[in-house]
Amino acid sequence: MRWPSLSASPYCSTKKGRAYLGDALELIKEIEDGSVDLICTSPPFALLRQKQYGNVSSREYVQWFMNFAREFRRVLKPQGSLVIEIGGSWNKGQPTRSLYHFELVLQLCKMEEEGGAGFHLAQELYWYNPAKLPTPAEWVTVRRIRVKDAVTNVWWLSPSSNPKANNRRVLKPYSESQQELMRNGYKAKLRPSEHQISTKFDVDNGGAIPPNIIKDDVFPNDIGAPVNVIAASNTSSNDVYLRRCREEGINPHPARFPNALPEFIINLCTEEDDIVLDPFAGSNTTGFIAEKLNRRWLAFELNEEYLKGSKFRFPELDSRQVMEGYSEAQANAATQGKLFPEEIKQGNLFADVTTQTSE
Ligand SMILES: C[S@@+](CC[C@H](N)C(=O)[O-])C[C@H]1O[C@@H](n2cnc3c(N)ncnc32)[C@H](O)[C@@H]1O
């Protein structure tokens, strides 16, 4: 497969990828039809409280996004995937939710003749982030009539009804009880739900098939917070990206992906050497994970400060890391097809707090 050739020079490049500074809507026009395997991205959400990188209002959101969507559809291979992480928002002055992200997915899946982009919804996934702030404060912490909004929707779409995917690449470690079952055997029986659990239930298939909630690890001390998905997790704050941003006086991106999200999606939807594009790349978490997983990547970002910081994710682009050789082991620890490497479980590697909160 040929590397997509753009006339602009990349802002930076690595063995597997290229990052471009500019408007994704312009840059993408130069990508050939049907040449990208996966677009994995988090666009600016339609938030009531604006982020420093700007957000489109929920009223104009669908129209704004559809310009990108048609290009996304054009550059994707027929069996490629478009995965969009998008948080909900609140209606101004009311304890009610905006429907903009549902309107978006409906429009994306309408036929082109109806003004849509002709995508199929392969599945909806959810990113659960217990580190989200309890906002809007008026409803959650002052009047206490709503709970913390801790999930964002992840729409998995494709030009085809059968996108390339393999859930064997995202298996989770078996739970204690399943491991015990596999050790001690299982008697086939009917569950109260009337599902027949077969004798194959105790066969070790190399890991458990994951659910459609993407989360990192489970930490008991978060269970007290009332959230709208029952699960728990944690974040740490000392990864190489943040440390180097601090050292160089660069503001870290305020709404980074958790590593686990692109890791899950890239493993699920692509194979080695496939091409992954993040058109709203921010700090380029997607490119960082794609590189680790041996996929080729393209990143577009409007804001130079974010791309400057993103270079710290790649030791080869950061002379200080090369000189001091201190980050190689940590940078390499991000996965080899495993969703939760040991370093993440111990909470000592990644700092990812997705802070594009739905305020
Ligand atoms: C939610 S952030 C993405 C964060 C990213 N997932 C990460 O892990 O750092 C959205 C990004 O889209 C960028 N952006 C907004 N409009 C854009 C456009 N037209 N072209 C390229 N980038 C754009 C913003 O500057 C912002 O950094």
CATH number at residue 259: 3.40.50.150
In a domain, 358, yes or no: no
Do 310 and 179 share a structural domain?
A: no
- Whole-angstrom CA distances from 319 to 296, 299, 303, 307, 333 are 23, 21, 22, 16, 20
Domain boundary (208, 234, 258) is at 208
In the chain, how many domains are there? Answer: 2
The residue out of 191, 208, 225 marking a domain boundary is 208
5 lies in a domain? no
Tell me, using a 6 A CB cutoff, whether residue 277 lines ligand 1: no
Average pLDDT for 195-206: 74
Cα 291 from chain centre = 15
d(CA 350, CA 239): 5
Cross-strand bridge partners of residue 277: 39, 298
In this prediction the pTM is 0.84
* Residues 228, 213, 83, 108, CA torsion sign: negative
Residues 123 and 24 in one domain: yes
Asked if 190 and 148 sit in the same domain, the reply is no
Question: Do 302 and 182 sit in the same domain of this protein?
Answer: no
Is residue 357 assigned to a domain?
A: no
Judgement on whether residues 227 and 183 belong to the same structural domain of the protein: no
In a domain, 141, yes or no: yes
The contacts of residue 290 (CB under 8 Å, 6+ apart) are 16, 17, 262, 266, 276, 296, 297
294 in any annotated domain: yes
Tell me which amino acid residue 200 is. K
Domain enclosing residue 203, as ranges: 174-208
- State the sign of the Cα–Cα–Cα–Cα dihedral 82, 10, 256, 347: positive
Distance 53 CA to ligand 1 centre (A): 7
Query: Residue-wise over 276-294: b if at least 16 C-beta within 10 A, else e?
Result: bbbbbbbbbbbbbbbbbbb
How far apart CA 213 and CA 234 sit, in angstroms, is 15
Distance 168 CA to ligand 1 centre (A): 30
Same domain, 36 and 110: yes
CB within 8 A of 268, min separation 6: which ones?
165, 166, 167, 169, 170
Residues 183 and 145 in one domain: no
Would you state the pLDDT for residue 251? 93
240 located within any domain: yes
The secondary structure of 4-54 as a DSSP string is P--SSPPSEE-SSEEEEES-HHHHGGGSPTT-EEEEEE-PPP--SSPPTT-
* Token pair in block for residue 95: 């304890």
> What is the 34 CA–ligand 1 centroid distance (Å)?
23
Q: What is the mean pLDDT of the chain?
A: 81
Q: Is any atom of ligand 1 closer than 6 Å to the C-beta of 357? A: no
Same domain, residue pair 200 and 101: no
Per-residue pLDDT tens over the stretch 214-228: 876 544 444 333 333
CA of 261 to the centre of ligand 1 (A): 16
The verdict on 201 and 222 lying in the same domain is: no
Same domain for 180 and 80: no
81 and 150 both lie in a single domain: yes
Mark which of 208, 227, 254 sits at the end of a domain: 208
**Atom of ligand 1 at shortest range from CA of 354:** 8
**What tens digit of pLDDT does each residue of 97-106 get?**
999 999 999 9
How close is the Cα of 280 to the center of ligand 1, in Å?
Answer: 4
- Residue 278 CA, closest ligand 1 atom number: 6
Task: Let me know if residue 351 belongs to a domain.
Answer: no
Task: State yes or no: pLDDT of 346 exceeds 80.
Answer: no
Question: What is the β-pairing status of strands 17-21 and 296-301?
Answer: parallel
Do 202 and 303 fall within a single domain? Answer: no
Picking from 29, 23, 20, 19, the residue whose alpha carbon sits closest to that of residue 44 is: 23
Find out whether 148 and 101 touch, Cβ atoms under 8 Å. Answer: no
Q: With a cut of 70, say whether residue 31 has pLDDT above it.
A: yes
